[in-house]
Amino acid sequence: MIIEFYKKLLTLQSHSIGIAAMIVAFFGIVSRIMGLVRDRILAANYGAGDTLDIYYAAFRLPDLIFELLIVGSLAAAFVPRFSKLMMDTDQTRAWRCANDLFLVLMSALFALSIVGFIFAPALIHLMVPGFEEAKIDETINFARIMFLSPLFLTASALFGSVLVSMKKFMLYASAPLLYNAGIIIGIVFIAPRFGDIGLAFGVVLGAFLHFAVHLIAVSHAGFDFSLPKTLPWHNQDVQQILRSMIPRIFGSASNQIALILTTFSASLLSAGALTMFTFAYNIQSVVLGLVGVSFALAAFPTLSAAHAGDKPEYFREVLMRTLRRILYYAIPMSILFWVLRAQIIRLVYGAGYFDKEATDYTIQVLSILLISLFAQCAIPLLARAFYAMNDTKTPLIAALGAQAVNIICLFTLLQADFRIRAIAIAFSLAAVTNALILLGLLKRRMPELDYRETAFGIAKIIIAGFFAGGIAHGIKNFIGFTFGEQIYVWQYFVQFGVTAVAGVTIYLGVSALFGLKEFETIRKSIFFKLFGRPIVAAEEQNQGTGSP
């Protein structure tokens, strides 16, 4: 019975955009929940100390390779080309393209991983200068093992793009669950037997499982690996895909630069600083991924088509409408997360060796990060507006300017003894700076862009968000007063659940009262239609493999 069910999954196609979107959205939410479960197990088993600092610092270099070269670029370049080739009567060319691109990407990633393995000591010393020598040595060992993961994840990203092109979403969307499952296996089973290094092997296992489920599915779909008679990079289809990937590689540059700076700065602080920042960042990234990244990816093809079709008015309309939609969700979610920050952190991380001091510091970091979450969510869309106009330099310049602010704030605040709060404040100021620079440069590029109408709508969103947040804060305090001073885990759940439901309900009610267009979008279920585009699915899943 299980075998027959698995065979059905291999052949299942989702021709309906709505059904495909629901599949991807469902597995995306489940994957993020598993990610929080993973973090809770890590927090309970290791607390905020040297081990998790080593783990997260070691992950940063392999993740940098995958994020810069693959995430956000491969699917956007590959899916349209492969889909077009598959529409031909003879599909041999399409499979040859996938085969040759697989060889090219694997060769490039293998070479980069070897370079990373060899130069890991120098790179780690540069990235975490504040670590003690023994801690640096352990970070090097972790990183060298983790350099295997970009190989598996890159191959998986390519095969996942093939599955999306063929509308096979079920097994495609389930891969991130296996990625988190592999990491959890490393924490629960491998590390207790082989020591802390088992955490690194868990990351590699998760990447392998992510790859394996896609390999099985794509092999069943028709992919048959073979060595080509000519060099794979001579394939014209591969060359076209690679040329399309290059401009998009800069898409995640800003975020990666910020995270490298964060890792650098956290290494100068006490043990556990990097862990506490990462835990807080992972919480707010739930909103960033579900709202900021998803809407930006969904709007990108439309913006590109509008620019290519010389439709500047439509381009501006789509840009401003999408920005409002992002902020419609991001602003109230930021406020609600801020109101419930203590409950969220204690429910997710407050167990085992993650003590009260670590919990309190993580709450402080999350409080600061949430203030800039609206800007973090806007940046992916604003950057892609420039990419749609074939401009990759401007977002990079904005990112570098923002990171200059980050560096200045970091060293100023660290000298003023702000400790881990300095990292969060600098990160948030850099995000707001980046968003403002991009908005200003967009206005300069398109003088006809009118922010006034959009600003009026955003003002309503802010009022509705703070009104709902204020009432939610009162409800939370009332429930807390009812429970008394000593609150148990189930009471935190009740406090969180009741407050969250009340806050969302009030926000939607005020939205309807204000006549916000975005409320009508929810009512008419356009949200799922917007997320149903195959290219969005492929990029969104790759985003979901980030911090372990």
What tens digit of pLDDT does each residue of 346-357 get? Answer: 999 988 889 889
Question: What pLDDT, on the 0 to 100 scale, is given for residue 15?
Answer: 47
321 burial (CB, 10 Å; 0-12 / 13-18 / 19+) is middle
Nearest-5° Cα angle at 279, 506 to 370: 40
| Res. 430: pLDDT tops 50 | yes
Tell whether the model's pLDDT for residue 247 goes beyond 80: no
Q: Does the structure show a pLDDT above 50 at 535?
A: no
Structure tokens belonging to residue 253:
């540059």
The pLDDT assigned to 454 comes to 82
Per-chain mean pLDDT for the chain = 85
Task: Give me the DSSP letters along 278-303.
Answer: HHHHHHHHHHIIIIIIHHHHHHHHHH
- The per-residue DSSP string of 148-195 comes to THHHHHHHHHHHHHHHHHTT-HHHHHHHHHHHHHHHHHIIIIIHHHH-
- The residue ranges of every structural domain in the chain are 1-248
Q: Is the pLDDT of residue 532 over 60?
A: no
Q: Which residues, including other chains, have CB under 8 Å from residue 85's CB and lie 6 or more apart? A: 91, 93, 94, 97, 237
Measured CA to CA, the distance from residue 496 to residue 346 in angstroms comes to 11
In angstroms, rounded to a whole number, what is the distance separating the alpha carbons of residues 440 and 446?
10
Q: How confident is the model at residue 167 (pLDDT cuts 50, 70, 90)?
A: confident
Q: Are 155 and 215 in contact (CB under 8 A)?
A: yes
- Write the CB contacts of 308 (distance below 8 Å, at least 6 apart in sequence): none
Q: For the residues 178-184, what does the mean pLDDT come to?
A: 95
Between CA 356 and CA 339 the distance in angstroms is 19
User: What is the reported pLDDT for 165?
Assistant: 76
Tens of pLDDT, residue by residue over 295-312, are: 887 787 778 778 878 888
**pLDDT average, residue stretch 483-488:** 76
pLDDT at 252: 62
Quick check: 309 and 301 in contact, CB under 8 A? no
Q: Is 50 exceeded by the pLDDT of residue 46?
A: yes
pLDDT (average), residues 380-391:
85
- CA pair distance 442, 546, nearest whole angstrom: 29
Question: Quick one: how far is CA 275 from the chain centroid?
Answer: 18
The arithmetic mean of pLDDT across residues 403-428, rounded, is 92
pLDDT tens string 113-146: 999 999 999 999 999 999 999 999 999 999 999 9
What pLDDT does 438 receive?
A: 94
Q: What span, in angstroms and rounded, lies between the C-alpha atoms of 115 and 123?
A: 10
Full-model pTM: 0.85
Residue 526 reports pLDDT greater than 50: no
CB within 8 Å of 228: residues ≥ 6 apart: 96, 99, 100, 103, 235
**CA angle centred on 501, ends 500 and 504, rounded to 5°:** 85
Write out the two tokens for 87: 């529409």
Using pLDDT thresholds of 50, 70 and 90, give the confidence band for residue 533: very low
Which pLDDT does position 2 carry in this prediction?
A: 43
87-103 pLDDT, tens per residue?
775 678 888 999 999 99
